[in-house]
Structure 1
Amino acid sequence: MIRQLAILFGCLALGELIIWLTGIPLPSSILGMLILTLLLKLKIIRLEWVKTISDFLVANIGFFFVPPGVAIMLYFDIIKAEFWPIVISTAISTVIVLAVTGWVHQIYGKAVNRKGGDQ
C-alpha cells in the first residue's frame, strides 16, 4: 500500500514540479494523472502496483465531493442570483466538450484505420 501511495503522490509531485518550472496554466493534479496514464501505457508502472489503492479511491469517490457540496451550500445566494448564466454556460460547454470529443475520436479512428491496425 505504501508503494501504491508513493507512485500516486510521486506522479502528483512531478506534475506540481512541471507546473512550477514551466508555468503552464493547467492544474497539477490533471498533469499528474496524465503522467500516471503515460507511465501505465508505456508499461513503466504496472497496473498491479496501483490497482488496490485506485479501486479504494474510486469506491469512495463520493466522500471527496462532500467539501465542494458544503461550499455550494455556503454560496447558495450567489448561485441563486446567477442561476441562468451558470445553467447556460454549463449547457454550452457540455455541448462543446461532446462535439470536440467526438471530433477527436473520429480523427483518431481514421488515423488508426489508415495505419491498418487497431491499437
Structure 2
Amino acid sequence: MAANDKTPKTETAEEEQASPILIQMGIFAAILFVSSLISPLFPATFPVPTPVIGLVILYILLATHIVKLRNVEKFGDFMISLIAFLFVPSGIQLAANLDILKAEGVQIVIVALISTIVLLVVVAYTTAGFIWLRKNVFHRDVNVEE
C-alpha cells in the first residue's frame, strides 16, 4: 500500500505570485504610452496631463480587474518610494524664485489650501458615488478584496 493512500489530500490555496518587475514596468509603460496618445485629443482650452490620464486608465483597469493588483504592486510601491526624490527639482525651482513667493506667497498658499480642500471633497464624493453605484445599481459587494 502506498503512503499516499493513508494521508488525506488537502488542496492548499497557493497565493498567486506577483508578476516579474519587467512585466510590471511594461504595464506602466503601456498605460503611459496609451495616455500619451489620448492627451493631445483634449482641446487646448482644457489640457489634461498625460500622467493624469494614465492614473485614470490604471484605476479603471484595476477596478474592472483587467489588471490585477499583484501585477503592478511592486513597481507601484517602488515608484511611491521615489516620490520625495521627484519633488527635489520643484523645490529647487521654488528656492530660485523666492522673489515671486515673497510678493505673492499669501495668495499662492491660499489657492493651494483651497484647491486641496476642493480636491479632497470631490474625491470623497466621487468615491462615495462609485461605492453607491456598485452597491445599489450593480448589486455587488463593496469590499475591495477578491
Match of 2:35 among 15, 18, 21: 15
Residue identity in the other structure for 2:37:
L
Q: Quick check: 1:73 aligned with 2:99?
A: no
Structure 1 unaligned regions, length at least 5: none
Contact 2:42 2:48 in 1 (8 A): no
Give the aligned length: 119
Structure 2 unaligned regions, length at least 5: 1-20
SS in 1 for 2:118: helix
Residue identity in the other structure for 1:71:
Q
- Which residue number in structure 2 is paired with residue 27 of structure 1? 49
Structure 2 length-normalised TM: 0.67
- Deviation of 1:31 (Å): 0.4
Contact 2:35 2:54 in 1 (8 A): yes
- Which residue number in structure 2 is paired with residue 39 of structure 1? 61
- Which residue number in structure 1 is paired with residue 13 of structure 2? none
Distance 2:122 2:41 in 1: 29
- Which residue number in structure 1 is paired with residue 5 of structure 2? none
Structure 1 length-normalised TM: 0.80
- Which residue number in structure 2 is paired with residue 91 of structure 1? 113
Q: Which has the higher helix share?
A: 1
- Deviation of 1:93 (Å): 2.2
Which has the larger displacement, 86-95 or 27-36?
Answer: 86-95
Structure number with greater Rg is: 2
Which has the larger displacement, 69-78 or 102-111?
Answer: 102-111
